[in-house]
Structure 1
């Protein structure tokens, strides 16, 4: 599908193949599982990937002219040929003094466009592009790119900075997830409820559940950034992919600083699945309600699709689904609409410290039952980081254990040697 989406005149074939590709994607994602409970979290990831892939199949099938990059009038053909000539001249200028003649540069550029190689690379890029940076579907849709703190003018320096940040995210992710696994029940493959602590004391019960939920949210952010930067480190140096540092901006922009739900979900939270949710629900429901309430349909469809995305992924863990995941994400559309009503009535946007409290109530308060559904299925109890490469088990826990012993804290931390 991705290959055909980057070839002109293939709409009929993509429509014909789409049903088979859709079913095959879902069947592969949910039909094959990790049977060891220690790896059940990977089944959740497989479910997420399967739903995302199925949405990608539908998206690629629906472009009449194929999936186009910025400046293209059809796949591989740019709108303004002068741009391509300028790019060739720039490369000739950069190669000056290297002993390579202009004709050899032009020939090399032509060899890069070997139909088979170009088609393969195009297919990979079309299949893996998420935010639409450099693609037409990512323009004109208010896509937000977080500010960059790394040096994008020097690829080698950017790579080193990315590597350093990857190590930081890896260590922090390992420490946070290892700490979560110390919680009784939740830290086992069988799973447990975040509401199982505190007894009849509601204040204590929900204080503990919020602490576990917040730690889980932090782990998600760290995990996303860790994997994203690892992929950046692998892909960026490969010449065939012709990647630039500017193609790999950060994923998050301090989501804890959001002053409205609109800002949280449209800017500060990661936008990797934005197009997936638009295809799954935003566009279809907006079209269905176009004569009545397009904006309402767009918001409700997008957030409901997000809920279904997480709802179906739970099925991959082999313990059924939980409608609370669907309810949480669908309810975010209601919150965003209430912000629009507030602006219409008062003339002012939701913001300031009250806006920040509003976001925390809707997100941190509401997502508890969704995260509880994940933990009840053993999401955090499996092997997220192999003990043999765990900084927490090799360094952090051995340093903390004597402190616990001296303070009389009855906790035995798992170490690398006895993992």
Structure 2
């Protein structure tokens, strides 16, 4: 476990940098179309809109001070709509039904009008993380060595439990922006649709440095430690050996070949 933790952390940072590099590369390819005059490009935008339309994917994941903060504001949200529609919406329905069922069975629960809403919130969160886990599990299945639901999908279900637990403990405000859309702030947007409100989030529910440190440790324990089992499952199934870009099409390898031909050809 001592060795697995830094390896898992490095793997997560590698994934973050790979996705960010791909995002920046596509930005370099597509952004010029918005710089052209409107008469030439239908996608032309004023210069003041460029940063808003081409934001970074991540917002300092290592600075997360709650599990909700990590997944809602810090990590990328490329599949947010997919997860919400295919997991969150059905989860809301199932959770609301179960909450209403509890109200009808237990007399004491009838006095609690929020039981149905609580079930909907719980079901929505778990549904989103369940679909996320299944998608990552299918990625492992695509390698051809099967899946491991317990380690991969189970990890994301555990993240949903952590988010619900934070809400139950009253920690939902940690890392939550003061204003959902603060137009007057100078913060830059991120690709997950949230403004970079790092300073606001640090001061919102962290009256002391000790509390901030505790919440950072809390997030690390929930996000990184269980990820060691997911990474182990991926490694055993060869997910990390997948070649995404064929060697013949790799720009880096092409540059290395050119350099070798130039430097070592007599």
TM-score by length of 2: 0.63
Partner Cα separation in structure 2 for residue 240 and residue 378 of structure 1: 44
Q: How many angstroms does 1:288 deviate by?
A: 2.6
**Secondary structure of the structure 1 residue equivalent to 2:77:** coil
Q: How does 1:4-403 map to 2 (within 5 A)?
A: 206-238=1-33, 239-242=41-44, 245=50, 246-290=52-96, 291=100, 292=116, 293-323=119-149, 324-343=151-170, 352-383=212-243, 386=247, 389-390=251-252
Q: Does the 8 Å CA contact 1:253/1:268 hold for their aligned counterparts?
A: yes
The alignment of Structure 1 onto Structure 2 pairs a total of residues equal to: 188
Partner Cα separation in structure 1 for residue 163 and residue 9 of structure 2: 22
Partner Cα separation in structure 1 for residue 238 and residue 130 of structure 2: 25
Partner Cα separation in structure 1 for residue 145 and residue 54 of structure 2: 36
CA RMSD of aligned residues (A): 2.8
Q: How many angstroms does 1:261 deviate by?
A: 0.5
Render the CA deviation track for 1:159-200: whole Å, top value 9, x for unaligned.
xxxxxxxxxxxxxxxxxxxxxxxxxxxxxxxxxxxxxxxxxx
In the alignment, structure 1 segments of 5+ residues that lack a partner are 1-205, 395-416
Tell me the equivalent position of 1:34: none
Partner Cα separation in structure 1 for residue 224 and residue 133 of structure 2: 16
Of the two, which has the highest radius of gyration? Answer: 1
Q: How many angstroms does 1:222 deviate by?
A: 0.5
Partner Cα separation in structure 1 for residue 85 and residue 20 of structure 2: 24
Partner Cα separation in structure 1 for residue 44 and residue 231 of structure 2: 39
Partner Cα separation in structure 2 for residue 254 and residue 308 of structure 1: 26
Q: How many angstroms does 1:259 deviate by?
A: 0.8
Tell me the equivalent position of 1:91: none
Q: How many angstroms does 1:272 deviate by?
A: 1.3
Q: Does the 8 Å CA contact 2:140/2:239 hold for their aligned counterparts?
A: no
Partner Cα separation in structure 2 for residue 242 and residue 374 of structure 1: 42
**Secondary structure of the structure 1 residue equivalent to 2:159:** helix
**Secondary structure of the structure 1 residue equivalent to 2:132:** helix
Q: How many angstroms does 1:383 deviate by?
A: 4.1
* 1:349 to 1:282, Cα distance in 2 relative to 1, 3 A: farther
Q: Does the 8 Å CA contact 2:134/2:153 hold for their aligned counterparts?
A: yes
Moved over 3 A (4+): 240-244, 347-351, 382-391
**Secondary structure of the structure 2 residue equivalent to 1:249:** coil
Render the CA deviation track for 1:53-78: whole Å, top value 9, x for unaligned.
xxxxxxxxxxxxxxxxxxxxxxxxxx
Partner Cα separation in structure 1 for residue 251 and residue 3 of structure 2: 29
TM-score by length of 1: 0.41
Partner Cα separation in structure 2 for residue 299 and residue 349 of structure 1: 22
